[in-house]
Amino acid sequence: MKFVRAIWKLLVGIKDALVLLLMLLFFGGLYSALSARPAPVRSGVLDVSLSGSVVEQPARARWSDVASGNRLGEYRLRDLVQALDKARDDGRVKVVALDLSGFTGGGHTAIGDLADAVRSVRAAGKPVIAYGVGYTDSSYELASAASEIWLNPLGAVLLAGPGGSNLYYKGLLDKLGVTANVYRVGTYKSAVEPFIRNDMSPEAKQNYLALDQAELDNWRQAVKQARPKANVDLFLSNTNAAIAAAGGDMAKAALSNGLVDRIGSRREFEQRLAQLGGKDDKDEGGFARIRLSSYIYDSVEQNPKGPIGIVTIAGDIIDGDAGPGTAGGDTIAKEIQQGIRDGIKALVVRVDSPGGSVLASERIRQAELEAKAKGIPVVVSMGSVAASGGYWVSTPADFIYAEPSTITGSIGVFGIIPSFQGTLQKLGVGADGVKTTPLSGEPDLFKGPSPQASQLIQAGVNSMYARFLQVVATARHKTPQQVDQIAQGRVWDGGTAHQLGLVDSFGTINDAVAKAAQLAGLGNERHVRYLEPPVSFRQQLIETLASEGDDNGAMSEDAFASLSQGPQQQLAAMLKQVRSILGGASIQARCLECPAVEPARLGKTDLSLFGMIKDWLL
Answer for the pair 542, 322: CB distance below 8 angstroms, yes or no.
no
C-alpha 76/C-alpha 56 separation (Å) is 6
Q: How many CB atoms lie within 10 A of CB 92?
A: 16
DSSP per-residue letters across 92-151: TEEEEEEE-TT--EE-HHHHHHHHHHHHHHHHTT--EEEEEEEE-HHHHHHHTTSSEEEE
| Residue among 417, 467, 409 at smallest CA distance from 584 | 417
Which residues, 6+ apart, have CB-to-CB distance to 459 below 8 Å?
none
Buried b (16+ CB within 10 A) or exposed e, 346-381: bbbbbbbbbbbbbbbbbbbbebbeebeeeebbbbbb
Which residues, 6+ apart, have CB-to-CB distance to 578 below 8 Å?
169, 194
Q: Which amino acid is at 346?
A: A
| Residue among 341, 340, 322, 342 at smallest CA distance from 332 | 322
SS3 511: helix
Q: How many CB atoms lie within 10 A of CB 7?
A: 10
Residue 392's Cβ-count burial label (10 Å; 0-12, 13-18, 19+) is buried
C-alpha 407/C-alpha 493 separation (Å) is 5
C-alpha 220/C-alpha 360 separation (Å) is 37
> Crossing angle, helix 329-341 and helix 358-373, to 10 degrees?
10
C-alpha 346/C-alpha 389 separation (Å) is 23
Query: What's the 3-state SS for 17-47?
Result: HHHHHHHHHHHHHHHHHHHCCCCCCCCEEEE
DSSP per-residue letters across 278-311: -EETTEEEEE-EEEHHHHHHHHS-SS---SEEEE
SS3 553: coil
DSSP per-residue letters across 444-497: -TTT---HHHHHHHHHHHHHHHHHHHHHHHHHHT--HHHHHHH-TT-EEEHHHH
**Could you give the residue numbers annotated as active site?**
189, 388
Q: Angle at the Cα of 589 (from 585 to 590), degrees rounded to 5?
A: 95
